Amino acid sequence: MGSGASASVTNGNIFMKECNQRRSDFALWNRVAFSSLVSLLVSTSAVAQFSWKGFGKDGRFVAPDHGISPPRIYQSVSSYVGPQPFDMLHYSLDLSLSLLTDSLGGKTTMTLVLTSAVDSVVLHAVGLQLDTVRVDRLQKSISFNPMDETFTIFLNGMRNPGDTLRIEINYERIPGYPRPSSRQGYYYFRDTLVGLPSNLGYTFSEPSDARFWMPCYDEPWEKATAEINLTIPVGYLAASNGKLSGTTDNGDGTVTWHWREDHQIATYLMCITASAFTIPTLSYVTSTNDTIPVQYYVWSADSVECAAYLPTVREMVVEYSRLFDEYPFDKYGMTAIIPFTYLGMEHQSLTTINWYFKTDRRVVSHELAHQWWGDLVTCGTWADIWLNESFATYSEALWQEHVGGMPALKSYMRDTLSEFQFASWQGAIYDPVGQGFNLFDRVVYSKGAWVLHTLRGAVGDSTFFNVLRAYREKYQSKSAITAEFAAVVDSVMGIDMSWFFDQWIYGPGWPTYSYSYSWGNDTVSLVIDQLQSTSWPTYKMPMQVRVHHPGGSTDFVVLDSMRTQSFGLPLSTQPDSVELDPNYWILKQIAPPPLSVDVGETPTSYRLDQNYPNPFNPTTSIRFALPSSGFVRLEVFSTLGEEVTTLVAHELPAGIHAVNWNARDLASGVYLYRLRAGDYVDTKKLLLLK
């Protein structure tokens, strides 16, 4: 779904090329020899499970890059097909909308082939009057099961595997049926609504609401081709999935719009949207010289603004095609509408965008990315929803990286860390509903995106994007479950990566690290502790360690895999400070440094003190007061607004706290530091003089 389950949730939850900045970040790390690294690692059975071989071109400690290996990929587990005894081949819908009332009716024709011997077929429908049901032109009886939102068609005898059935159902939407407000399936609004320039009708079906506007088999693992012929009054435009094959003037004041989706599509991604739209359009030319229209279905008052935004959308298509392989469908359309409860919905080849966010780059990039991750490759079950939402959310970050380079990517990822405070982040990414969370909770958006970022950091860019392209190649036009994505990762990596999925996807929580160090005999003795709950995994991760010293800084990689682990880092100069994961590749919290708390004072309000000393060279202390516990972020910026470092980004108890900052690597000048805690925000200046 669009960048979060709803506007109210997502306003705080819109997430977020290889560049010179990244090469600069890792230049020193690239000079560390792998043979030297091996001597630094503690030899334990946990560490021995890893088969990491060296450094990638961008300096990260990576597994061997095998690229895409089709023989291994295609021998992995097959696409998830679900328990139903048939394969749906095609939907053909002939529908009419009056656009004067919320009426909807017509005929749906389903073509399916049996995979098992059956004497009945179970399909989905809610709030629909099924007038006649025919199988291979013969009328059949049916029975409804409202609890399951299903109906059964009795075939009057056994049919065999391989038999093709053509099911025709005439139906209409029952007026006044007690549908939940959030499960209307079809939504209708009159132009008498303030701000609405035209009558509007549209469908919204995720996760399981297609059954409210069309009889179907309404599960994400079952995909088929489709055609939708929509009859509406003259003066309105009807948009739907796939290609427009033409229109028919019926001579009675109505026009039928003929849409055809020749690519496999899940029912929740099928849609119709009708209003008095205009269609700003430009073309995207694929790598094979096919021309794909990029379109915006909007009301006339919005046409100039949206037409001006389409080149940005096309640039997004170009970038995602570079990263994930070519755009997969025959058009990319968007509709900008209100009222609409959500920020966006990734209907296949026709995204629905909340009018208020029609040119919001995060919402638009998120929904576009769904065309690959969710539409072309669809989650096999709703427990696997992260395969849709985490991938689309991380694609937001990838677009930010394209626009602003590595600093923009780091800033985007760091901003999402404030969501540690939300309960769902404590759960596993897999199966949010099974853990008591909402299907579209933050755990499958921002936390899942962070885990993909962590995977990328661990394996390197080349391997990571090879994984995505291999996953697309294997499951395009199909549905996949988490185990199948894991099998692709194993195949591309050439090693068993179950350890990563066990701790990051199926396991709850995240690592919380604390560390201490000492120096002697030309060695930094580093101790890393994992302080997260004992009910959460003990994380096994390759981790960059940056040691700052008078000559600059030196980077190492350690393989942390225990609750407490010691490492010896060879360094001939006494260090000034040590950083874990300085480039923010691992989803984590760092336990705060020792805090000073004035025992005799209980803060009654938030307060950010002036740093001391000020001016300073190169260390200073920043004190702040918290009247209550909560998530705190203390950041340092340049006067141009560029983020320099984050000093605190975690939960802190009430009290008066002090944090030391070492600015040895920075130039003299004025800097800003900002405290954010709850609704409190304060910024002050500090002066570095060398």
What distances in angstroms separate CA 403 from CA 43, 321, 363, one per listed residue? 42, 15, 15
On whether both 195 and 72 belong to a single domain, the answer is: no
pLDDT over 80 (residue 649): no
pLDDT reported for residue 60: 39
pLDDT band at 21 (very low <50, low <70, confident <90, very high): very low
Does the structure show a pLDDT above 90 at 30? no
pLDDT of 468 higher than 70: yes
What does the pLDDT look like over 349-380, one tens digit per residue?
Answer: 999 999 999 999 999 999 999 999 999 999 99
Among candidates 207, 556, 248, 249, which has minimal Cα distance to 384? 207
Backbone φ and ψ of 45, nearest 5°? -65, -35
| DSSP structural state of residue 313 | H
> Would you say residue 26 has pLDDT above 90?
no
Is 229 in the same domain as 94? yes
CATH number of the domain where residue 650 is located: 2.60.40.1930
The first and second tokens of residue 199, run together, are 């009558």
pLDDT of residue 302: 97
Domain final residue, candidates 560, 590, 620: 590
Classified as helix, coil or strand, 433 is helix
Domain end residue (candidates: 556, 590, 624):
590
CA count, 13 A, side-chain hemisphere, 622: 25
Q: Using CA atoms, how far apart are residues 355 and 500, in angstroms rounded to an integer?
A: 39
List Cβ neighbours of 308 (8 Å cut-off, separation of 6 or more). none
Containing 452, the helix (H) or strand (E) segment is helix 448-459
Same domain, 92 and 36: no
Count of domains for the chain = 4
**CA–CA gap between residue 444 and residue 390 (Å, rounded):** 6
Instruction: State the pLDDT at residue 221.
Output: 96
pLDDT band at 593 (very low <50, low <70, confident <90, very high): low
Is pTM beyond 0.85? Reply is: no
Whether residue 596 is predicted with pLDDT greater than 70 in this model: the reply is: no
> Are 438 and 484 in the same domain?
yes
- Look at phi and psi of residue 429 and say left if phi exceeds 0, alpha if psi is from -120 to 50, else beta: alpha
Domain CATH number, residue 69:
1.10.390.10
On whether both 120 and 76 belong to a single domain, the answer is: no
Confidence of residue 592 (pLDDT cuts 50, 70, 90): low
SS3 (DSSP) at 604: coil
Same domain, 523 and 612: no
Beta strands in 267-343 (DSSP E): 272-275, 281-285, 291-297, 332-337
Q: pLDDT for 142-176, tens place per residue?
A: 999 999 999 999 999 999 999 999 999 999 999 99
CA separation for the pair 662, 550 (Å, rounded): 12
3-state secondary structure of 27: helix
Q: Say which amino acid occupies 35.
A: S
**Taking 70 as the threshold, does the pLDDT of residue 289 lie above it?**
yes
Please report whether residue 337 resides in a domain.
Answer: no
Report phi then psi at 322, rounded to 5: -65, -40
Residue 446 within a domain: yes
CATH number, position 526? 2.60.40.1840
Rounded to the nearest 10°, the torsion over CA 174, 176, 177, 179 is 120
pLDDT of residue 191: 95
pLDDT in tens, 386-401: 999 999 999 999 999 9
Radius of gyration of the chain (CA): 28
**Domain membership flag for residue 115:** yes
Q: Report the b/e string of 602-611 with b at 16+ CB within 10 A.
A: ebeebebeeb
pLDDT band (50, 70, 90) for residue 591: confident
Annotate 71-99 with DSSP letters as a single string.
HHHHTSPPPP--S-SEEEEEEEEEEEE-S
Name residue, tokens 């990689």.
Answer: 557
Separation of alpha carbons 577 and 394, rounded Å: 32
- Co-location of 74 and 90 in the same domain: no
Does residue 647 lie in a domain region?
A: yes
Is 370 inside a domain boundary?
no
pLDDT of amino acid 181: 93
**Cα distance between residue 625 and residue 290, in whole Å:** 61
In a domain, residue 300? The reply is: no
More confident residue, 35 or 471: 471
3-state SS assignment for residue 485: helix
- Residue 366: Cβ within 10 Å count: 30
516 or 463: which leads in pLDDT: 463
Return the H-helix or E-strand segment holding 28. Answer: helix 27-30
Domain residues for 113? 86-276
Q: Would strands 552-560 and 680-688 be described as parallel, antiparallel, or unpaired?
A: unpaired
Mean pLDDT of the chain: 87
Specify the 3-state DSSP secondary structure of 55.
strand
Tens digits of residue pLDDT in 226-280: 999 999 999 999 999 999 999 999 999 999 999 999 999 999 999 999 999 999 9
CB 1 within 8 A of CB 386: no
Q: Is residue 383 part of a domain?
A: yes
Three-class SS state of 8: helix
In terms of domains, do 156 and 33 share one? no
- Contact yes or no for 8/2 (Cβ under 8 A): no
The runs of H, that is alpha helices, within 244-360 are 303-324
Among 87-91, 173-177, 508-512, 531-535, name the one with the lowest average pLDDT. 531-535
666 and 527 in a single domain? The answer is no
Q: At 200, list the tokens.
A: 């509007």
Do residues 113 and 96 lie in contact, with contact meaning Cβ atoms separated by under 8 Å?
no
Q: Is the pLDDT of residue 43 over 70?
A: no
Nearest partner of 275 among 302, 228, 331, 235, judged by Cα: 235
Least confident of 12-26, 273-287, 606-620: 12-26
Shared domain for 146 and 231, answered yes or no, is yes
Domain boundary residue among 542, 564, 590? 590
- pLDDT over threshold 80, residue 651: no
pLDDT band at 600 (very low <50, low <70, confident <90, very high): low
Question: What is the tens place of the pLDDT at every residue in 611-637?
Answer: 988 998 888 889 999 998 888 889 999
Q: What is the CATH number of the domain that holds 183?
A: 2.60.40.1730
- Whether 58 is in a domain gets the answer yes
Mean pLDDT of 22-43: 30
- For residue 7, the SS3 value is helix
Q: Name the least confident of 97-106, 258-267, 491-500, 514-523.
A: 514-523
Determine the pLDDT at residue 38.
31
Per-residue pLDDT for 140 more than 90?
Answer: yes
Confidence band for 23, pLDDT divided at 50, 70 and 90: very low
User: Looking at the structure, do residues 105 and 71 belong to the same domain, yes or no?
Assistant: no
Cβ-in-10-Å burial (0-12, 13-18, 19+) of 45 comes to exposed
Q: Are residues 582 and 526 in the same domain?
A: yes
Q: Average the pLDDT over 405-421 and give the result.
A: 90
Q: Is the pLDDT of residue 132 over 70?
A: yes
Q: What's at 548, amino acid-wise?
A: H
CB 464 within 8 A of CB 455: yes
Structure tokens at 106: 């017509």
Strands 243-249 and 281-285: unpaired
